[in-house]
A and B are shown apart, each in its own frame.
Chain A
Amino acid sequence: MTIKKLDGKVPGGSIQDSWNNHRFKLKLVNPANKRKYRVIVVGTGLAGASAAASLSELGYNVDVFCIQDSARRAHSIAAQGGINAAKNYTNDGDSIWRLFYDTVKGGDFRAREANVYRLAQVSVNIIDQCVAQGVPFARDYGGYLSNRSFGGAQVSRTFYARGQTGQQLLLGAYSALMKEAAHGKVKLHTRSEMVNLVMVNGKARGIIVRDVVTGEFSKHVADAVILATGGYGNVFYLSTNAKASNASSIWRAYKKGAFFGNPCYTQIHPTCIPVHGDNQSKLTLMSESLRNDGRVWVPSKVGDKRPPNEVTEAERDYYLERIYPSFGNLVPRDVASRNAKFQADQKKGVGPSGMAVYLDFRDAIKRDGLNVVKEKYGNLFDMYERITAENPYQVPMRIYPASHYTMGGLWVDYNLMSNLEGLFVLGEANFSDHGANRLGASALMQGLADGYFVIPYTIGGYFADYKPDGLKTDHPEFEKALHESSERFQRLLKIQGKRTVDDFHKALGKIMWDDVGMSRNAKGLQHALKEIPAIREEFWRDVRIPGSGSEVNVELEKAGRLADFLELGELMALDALERPESCGGHFREESQTKDNEAMRDDEKFCHVAAWEWQGEGTKPIRNVEELKFEHVKLAQRSYK
């Protein structure tokens, strides 16, 4: 076994010109020939829907797959706060360079510079495109677009549509997709779950799909496969992800040889509604735009259980404002999350569980008036009240961190192609642009950048050197992959044990949260590496799945996904163990400054870890891609 040095295929020359030069150098596919190519897109979130629509517009034939009943339901829809773009409409000093700089720094110097620069460049086109599609962004009285500031940024570059920006952007991409479906160039396959990747002669050539209504398996062939299936935050069981969000597509690809980049980089979002009890099925995020006006605090005294409104000003610790005077409540997510955990660990947490801190709007209401606060955050306040039965206009919200986003994902080069030829990975499913921590309002930006403005060019570059060969699904590799998948589901059904799928998922989630969560250390990670295989072994011996494989069987679907999480969780722990530095969302207790801030080790770890599957029972290989910082100087982040 040899460790590979990976090449991100970053074009040379100045970073400002690299994308333009690269686009020019990419070979083109003649418009008449585009119709000879077929592309599979898995996932219909921002990245998948925008890619599928854009590729169809160019003339390619596109097959799109999603597990929900409609392409409009992908979890991008739940993003509340907004989307960043370097428009500088507010005249406050923003620029492509500043968005690039903020994103590299926010990612704690663990992203590829050239990718991030391109992201900042195309961000301006995204807003134009979305407005043209009819996305009803917030407007000022003059009819111009309105902007706000968002976590980790000192400029107002975030565009928003009330608290439903993700929904509106997704409905925009979905409408573009339906427009193409109406023209017959896109074929939609809903309630369809990808269960295997098909490799033929070293190239990704198709997928195996399970219809979740009938349980039937089907084979689909194409000239390239695009995975845009989102992140793997549900490995923690409780997360802000949708219940069906899963890692199975990227995990199937990993087991066919695609490298998994930085699996330990996960983001714990600081502003979620705290856990209410054992039957909790998911966590709800409150947009961090709330931190623009809300003030985070805990009682100064340990164990102070008085109602918040009885705690006087002098008895409150506005700890973010105290520790980080220049960023205050707007520090990046990882910093805000760790500080909340720190307060709870000090027994200063609030609410019945003590696992919460206050987010208080009293001063904002006093300053701006109730109506202004209502206009900005009304729907978020309503949502909070619906869930907790408390009125945040009168008492401070209680918030606590929760698993939210995964920066890690399949490794891709500058063209968004994985190490497997013909397999492209977009959006949260890839590892690329956010480094070790993602800034607020940047996920929507990246998903749409990848789908609207990167893949349409780079897939052409791939196809220019590739000739459609008329491959059919009767090729033995398709049969083999289908057999592999149906066997796996049959094996699950045969177990007929005693414990439910959720039971196992909760057990995995607890280990992941305790040992591979916000704060990690060698001892905990080794514990996780021992425990996860034990749960996995028990799962395959004792899980109970009722019903059969040839009908709607939600437990079977869940079991298939959990089986993958039970493997991925172990890789996350291994990756975290073998990165003894702290960076962004990955906080190793052994590597911190005396002020408890994350401390990187750029000498040894200024690289991407890209894990390579070696078969059951064998430790995967940790390949590396060195990261060079030529434009943003490597420096310890400071938000003080």
Chain B
Amino acid sequence: MSDQHNMRLSLKIWRQANSLSKGQMVDYELDGVSPDVSFLEMMDQLNDKLIKEGKDPVAFDHDCREGICGMCGVVINGQAHGPEKETTTCQLHMRKFKNGDTIVIEPFRAKPFPVLKDLMVNRSAFDEIIKAGGFITVSTGQAPDAHTLLVPKGDAELSMDAAQCIGCGACVASCKNASAMLFTSAKISHLGLLPQGQAEAKTRVLSMVEKMDELGFGNCTNEAECEANCPKNISISNIARMNRQYLCSAATHPTM
């Protein structure tokens, strides 16, 4: 693409030195942005400029830049991961914006996701939820031949739909209650739809939900913002499945 298509943008970015300090929105102008670059490449361009001007570059999380690691994620013009459906921040391209646009860039905000610096947040709460039961207890070497367990194709596909969650946190950032129910239910569905996951199905849902609540995530009030902003199109039907499993498990599990 030739330079004549390059854009000039006004950026309003959340700057915060560390988790203890107070943050604020800061305005930047950036010229010469090619429509072919990704959103993060635009941020690289801004940082390059800031460094050369002797200013502090904007900190943001990112790693694979292919939309699969789940490390990146900012709120762009009020939407987690920006305007393109089923797309992570790193895979959003600047051709989705116009010359002269003002773009507001903020971190994923939620009480359980404290800001570390600028647009970087601490999402270790998600690890804590997985630690509470997002696994199948099998040790290396215990597994029988893979074909001893048949999984109907439909179940395998549904399980895979849920397993695609990349743990980015966009669901939490999009929810007015900062609920982690889409994330938690995706893991519960992924494992709970497979025969391998049955032995621990009841304890899993109970302990993961309990942990989620304990960490300060809110509850689901069916706004479906999480699904709308999920880069992997995880369906809120997983939340329904989790709630059903939770009820059944709480009612029948002997320890509860």
Contacts and interface: CB of A to CB of B under 8 A. Distances in A.
A68 B61 CA distance: 9
Contacts of B190: 134, 136
Given A277-B1, A279-B44, A280-B37, A70 B127 contact: yes
A178 B127 contact: yes
A500 to B, nearest CB: 5
Contacts of B185: none
The 8 closest A-B pairs by CB, nearest first: A143-B150, A132-B143, A175-B135, A128-B143, A552-B117, A136-B160, A54-B140, A131-B146
Given A277-B1, A551-B17, A552-B120, A134 B63 contact: no
Interface string A163-202: 0100110010011101101100000101000000000000
A137 B163 CA distance: 11
Interface in A106-127: 125, 127
Given A71-B127, A73-B63, A131 B149 contact: yes
Contacts of A57: 139-140
Nearest to B145: A128
A281 B140 contact: no
Contact of A551 (B18, B52, B149): B18
A505 to B, nearest CB: 12
B61, B63, B146 interface centre (most CB from chain A within 10 Å): B146
A495 interface: no
A546 interface: yes
A145 B57 contact: no
B156 A139 contact: yes
A73 B138 CA distance: 22
12 contacts: A57-B140, A69-B71, A132-B138, A164-B68, A178-B127, A277-B37, A284-B65, A352-B1, A456-B140, A546-B55, A552-B18, A552-B120
Interface of A: 50, 53-54, 57, 68-75, 77-78, 87, 89, 125, 127-134, 136-145, 161-162, 164, 167-168, 171, 174-176, 178-179, 181-182, 188, 190, 213, 240, 242-244, 276-277, 279-282, 284-285, 352, 382-383, 386-387, 389, 452-453, 456, 500, 502, 544, 546-547, 551-552, 554-555
Nearest to A284: B66
B134 A178 contact: yes
Contacts of A244: 63
Nearest to B92: A386
A188 B127 contact: yes
Given A242-B63, A383-B91, A552-B59, 18 more contacts: A73-B69, A77-B64, A132-B136, A132-B138, A134-B135, A145-B146, A167-B164, A167-B166, A168-B163, A175-B135, A182-B131, A213-B117, A281-B38, A383-B66, A386-B67, A453-B140, A456-B140, A546-B51
A77 B70 CA distance: 10
A182 B156 contact: no
Contacts of A276: 1, 34, 36-37
Interface stretch (B174-182, B191-199, B216-224): B191-199
Interface string B49-84: 011101111010111111111110000000000001
Contact of B143 (A129, A140, A168, A282): A129
Nearest to B64: A242
Given A127-B146, A281-B44, A387 B93 contact: yes
A421 to B, nearest CB: 25
A174 B166 CA distance: 12
Contact of B124 (A69, A134, A179, A554): A69
Given A133-B136, A142-B150, A279 B156 contact: no
B71 A162 contact: no
Contacts of B1: 276-277, 352
Contact of B116 (A77, A134, A552): A552
Contacts of B149: 131-132
Contact of A144 (B45, B130, B150, B196): B150
A383 to B, nearest CB: 7
B103 interface: no
A133 B196 contact: yes
A544 B47 CA distance: 12
Contacts of A544: 51-52
Nearest to A132: B143
A562 B17 CA distance: 25
A575 B63 CA distance: 30
Contacts of A143: 150-153, 156
Given A57-B140, A171-B163, A182 B37 contact: no
A71 B57 CA distance: 26
Interface of B: 1, 17-18, 34, 36-38, 40-41, 44-45, 48, 50-52, 54-57, 59, 61-71, 84, 86-87, 91, 93, 95, 116-117, 120, 122-124, 126-127, 130-147, 149-153, 156, 159-160, 163-164, 166-167, 190-191, 194, 196-197
B57 A555 contact: yes
Contacts of A72: 70, 127, 130, 167
A78 B69 contact: yes
Given A133-B138, A456-B140, A77 B61 contact: no
A125 B163 contact: no
B212 to A, nearest CB: 15
Given A136-B160, A140-B153, A284-B66, A128 B144 contact: yes
Nearest to B38: A281
Contact of A50 (B34, B50, B140): B140
Given A78-B66, A125-B143, A136 B156 contact: yes
Contacts of B18: 551-552
A69 B140 contact: no
Nearest to B52: A500
Contacts of A140: 153
A136 B167 contact: no
Nearest to B2: A352
A13 B40 CA distance: 55
Contact of B63 (A75, A382, A547): A75
A456 B140 CA distance: 9
Contacts of B57: 546, 554-555
Given A70-B123, A182-B131, A502-B48, A389 B95 contact: yes
Nearest to A89: B147
A161 B163 CA distance: 10
Given A243-B65, A500-B48, A279 B37 contact: yes
B18, B70, B86, B135 interface centre (most CB from chain A within 10 Å): B135
A546 B47 CA distance: 11
A131 B196 CA distance: 8
A297 B1 CA distance: 24
A4 B153 CA distance: 55
B39 to A, nearest CB: 11
B256 to A, nearest CB: 19
B140 A242 contact: no
A211 to B, nearest CB: 11
A280 B41 contact: yes
Contacts of A141: 153
B144 A387 contact: no
Contacts of B54: 546
A53 B68 CA distance: 23
B87 A386 contact: yes
A182 B34 contact: no
B41 A279 contact: yes
B98 to A, nearest CB: 15
Contacts of A285: 66
A77 B87 CA distance: 17
